[in-house]
């Protein structure tokens, strides 16, 4: 039943992807040099390697000048890439991976082989299922970049984030069902919506604070200074 749901959702999603891709492609091309898609190697079910599809959101050759994952204010992220990441549009091409059977819509997020090599024997249990576009750990770490220290990124990810993600993912594997998958999909959409609302509010508050400060500075000026 899970595979049937994956095929139905990915088939519908691929039509959406076909409509969105020309506009996203033009934005990426005009913003920075490089390909439209990013195809990185990931570890799938039973440890099988596959290439994941994403819209490119970083400068060309970003994986050669920094860590495999990104952190807050990562200078390698392009202007268009930042927007695509915030709205999660960069993840849409993974529907191709779902349709091809490499991934599922819901499941543990696929990791880079570099990080899977640090898994303990127990942690490798999450490789018993197909990785997903979204999952329980993805909901908890929907804004994972804000948790990361760029000065000790790899160490923090391996020592802190991976064990936490494993805990959430194992709970999912032990209790997975169609109902749970639908619940995770719904919570993922809500999480993204809340983050965007929070971002808009923060930007508005920042503008109001800036305007207030400018207003106070204007009041502090003498009439002669104001004319000047």
Tell me the per-residue pLDDT of 125-142, one tens digit each, with 9 for 90 and over: 999 999 999 998 888 776
The string of pLDDT tens digits covering residues 163-209 is 999 999 999 999 999 999 999 999 888 877 766 566 656 666 656 65
pLDDT of residue 74: 86
pTM (2 decimals)?
A: 0.81
Closest CA to 113 of 41, 32, 190: 41
pLDDT of residue 228: 34
Q: Rounded to an integer, what distance in angstroms lies between the CA atom of residue 198 and that of residue 209?
A: 16
pLDDT by position in tens, the chain (length 228): 899 999 999 999 999 999 999 999 999 999 999 999 999 999 999 999 999 999 999 999 888 887 777 877 889 999 999 999 988 899 999 999 999 999 999 999 999 999 999 999 999 999 999 999 999 888 877 666 666 776 777 888 889 889 999 999 999 999 999 999 999 999 888 877 766 566 656 666 656 655 566 666 555 554 444 333
pLDDT of residue 223: 45
DSSP string, 25-93: HHHHHHHSSS-SEEEEEEE-GGG-EEEEEEE--B-TTGGGSS-SS--TT-TTB-HHHHHHHHHTGGGTT
pLDDT of residue 43: 97
pLDDT of residue 179: 92
pLDDT of residue 23: 97
pLDDT of residue 141: 72
Closest CA to 132 of 161, 112, 103: 103
The domain locations on the chain are 2-221
Task: Give Cα 34 distance to the centre of its chain.
Answer: 20
Cβ–Cβ < 8 Å for 10, 104: no
Identify the H or E element spanning 134. Answer: strand 132-134
Handedness of CA 142, 140, 144, 97 (dihedral sign): negative
Q: Rounded to an integer, what distance in angstroms lies between the CA atom of residue 162 and that of residue 70?
A: 15
């Amino acid at each position: 039943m899970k595979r049937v749901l994956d095929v139905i959702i990915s088939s519908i999603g691929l039509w959406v992807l076909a409509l969105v891709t020309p506009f996203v492609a033009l934005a990426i091309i005009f913003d920075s040099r490089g390909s439209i898609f990013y195809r990185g190697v990931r570890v799938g079910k039973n440890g099988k390697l596959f290439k994941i599809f994403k819209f490119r959101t970083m400068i060309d050759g970003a994986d050669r000048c920094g860590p495999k994952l990104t952190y807050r204010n990562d200078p390698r992220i392009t202007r268009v890439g930042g927007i695509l990441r915030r709205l999660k549009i960069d993840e849409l091409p993974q529907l191709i991976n779902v349709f091809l059977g490499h991934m599922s819509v819901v499941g543990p997020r696929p990791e880079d082989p570099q990080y899977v090599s640090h898994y303990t024997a127990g942690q490798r249990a999450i490789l018993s299922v197909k990785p997903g576009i979204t999952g329980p750990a993805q909901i908890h770490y929907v804004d994972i970049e804000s948790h990361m220290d760029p000065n000790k990124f790899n160490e923090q990810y391996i020592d802190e984030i991976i064990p936490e993600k494993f805990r959430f993912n194992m709970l999912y594997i032990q209790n997975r069902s169609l109902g749970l998958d639908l619940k995770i999909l719904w919570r993922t959409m809500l999480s993204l919506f809340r983050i965007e609302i929070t971002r808009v509010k923060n930007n508005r508050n920042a503008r109001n604070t800036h305007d207030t400060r400018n207003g106070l500075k204007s009041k502090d000026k003498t009439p002669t200074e104001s004319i000047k």
